[in-house]
Chain A
Amino acid sequence: MIEVRDLTKRYPGRTAVDGISFTVGRGEVVGFLGPNGAGKSTTMRILSSFMPATSGTVRIAGFDVFHQPDEVRRRIGYMPENNPLHIDMRVRDYLKFRARLKGLGIGRSRDRADRVIEQCGLKDVEKRIIGQLSKGYRQRVGLADALVHEPDLIILDEPTIGLDPHQLRSVRALIKELGRQHTVLLSTHILTEVEMTCSRVLILNQGRILAADRVEDLESRFSQDGRVVAEIDATPEAIRDAFRDLPEVASIEIQAAAGSFQRVAFTPRAGEDLRPLVFEQVRQQDWSLRELTRPRLSLEDIFIQLTQKKKGGDL
């Protein structure tokens, strides 16, 4: 669906995107992850043919973004950063207006507007003025706009920024729903968002792709070498004895926790998931267990690891 090759965008005095290449297949939901200023928005603007690249090629659904921009625009539903809307218009009028701009006929625009209003849960507010809606509803209007001309590809630039937890949940659910029928490329700087909605992730920093992987693979690669933490009700000595002879466990760290519990951190030998093993051991010893987790990494952690690794490699 998307083929990007050696894409570079230079602004005067600054390189925003530095020779990135990636592909996105039909039906995939891909997350663009990276800190602010990593080049996410720039890349998305080039993909949606809002602005030209300095060099490199982008093909969307087989059409070149630079040479056949209108073909590309017809096939993309793009929600720009900060979700700009005409705030003086009413929801349904706005969606009809956008459908017309995207080349749909009058009757078809009406039908599609009704369809996306239903799809995005906007039925209650379809006659309201957009400027009077809450941010969550506005975000849905933005999504409805992106969908209204039945595009093959949906590009969303930070679709959940600035939402409260309830709105966040409903917008994410909506995006996930969209992923069933469309190819979606979305950008964010929140890792959990990618986990919840995307099948694959591209990590971008300073205009370069640091990692491109499936979410699970990325997590196992970076989840602190698979460390598992458990809180077990036993003496430190007993815990050490129980786990000492297991070949999968590389090392154990024990700290006293509240009550008679111990907080134990297990490090596996070869990236294995130790959770079933720890549970099995606890069960055999008939201890009580009140926590068993593999600490989740934030984007920040993964990001720092990636950049450090990179530096190490360069040196």
Chain B
Amino acid sequence: MGVFLTLVRRELGAAFNSLTGYVVVAITLLLAGFGLMDIVQRLNSDRTPSPIPEIFFADGIVFWLVLILTTPVITMRTFASEKALGTYEALMTTPVGEWQVVLAKFTGSLAFYLLSWAPLIGVLVALRQVTHQPQLLDPWAMCGVLTGIACIGSTFLSIGVFASSLTRSQIIAAMTSLLIGIGLWTISLRFSQADTTGDRLGRLMDHLSVTHHMQDFARGVIDGRALVFHLSMTFFFLFLTQRVIEMRRWK
């Protein structure tokens, strides 16, 4: 456990000591700023505005842009840069386990990702104070949003860590996870808007749709199936990562 925490701390340190770390925070804040302008506009024009989390995380695309753009950038470094710099060799010749390394890199990425969302959450809470309309930001909906950010983020981050373990080029790692992320999002969008009353495939795809998951979360509905889905996805990609490392180590 001690070694695991040491590795996580190292991951976070590397993120904050690098320019890309700050670029990620900048992207997040910039996009969130645009989203906020949208919210303010809607609050001014609508007589009965929807709750803020729904505007921001379900209807708008800001959450998805941030998710799809920042997760590849956060995770591309994890394995690819260590391989390119050679520190990977120094790491893997110490008696640390492959799972420890994989989980530490994932946990570090997740922690950084959540931290990059923190300012926005603060802004939303401030907005609630300013509007004097507490129903616009229900605490339960906020919990749902946080769960959604963490769950869906985990899936995307684990895809990114996996992509990074395949190559020594950070660009290739980022492009790969970006493509998978965009693919996942567009498919989800397509099926969450499809008529789901009919065939079973449509309903199944609806259950798997990440955009649908986020719509639920934004309403404060924490669906166990969505949680299980994202935990399984995360585990699946981390498992693949571990296999890749083990294979490269003992091929």
Contact = CB atoms under 8 A, between A and B. Distances in A.
Contact of B93 (A76, A85, A100, A106): A76
A51 B246 CA distance: 10
A305 B95 CA distance: 42
B250 A74 contact: no
Interface in A72-95: 73-74, 76, 78, 80-82, 84-89
Interface string A28-54: 000000000000000001001111100
A97 B86 CA distance: 17
A51 B17 CA distance: 30
B87 A84 contact: yes
B6 interface: yes
A98 B3 CA distance: 10
Given A97-B6, A101-B3, A84 B93 contact: no
Contacts of B10: 86, 97
Interface string A176-214: 000000000000000000000000000000000000000
Given A51-B249, A52-B251, A100-B6, A82 B93 contact: no
A99 to B, nearest CB: 10
Interface residues of A, number: 31
Contacts, number: 68
A303 B154 CA distance: 56
B3 A85 contact: no
Contacts of B91: 101
B89 A70 contact: no
B14 A86 contact: yes
A242 to B, nearest CB: 60
B89 A88 contact: no
Given A74-B95, A88-B14, A103 B89 contact: no
Interface in B50-93: 85-93
A145 interface: yes
A275 interface: no
13 contacts: A45-B89, A50-B92, A50-B249, A52-B249, A73-B94, A73-B95, A78-B93, A80-B86, A80-B89, A84-B89, A89-B17, A97-B6, A101-B91
Instruction: Identify the 10 closest CB pairs spanning chains A and B, nearest first.
Output: A84-B86, A88-B17, A70-B95, A101-B94, A73-B95, A80-B89, A100-B6, A84-B87, A48-B93, A78-B93
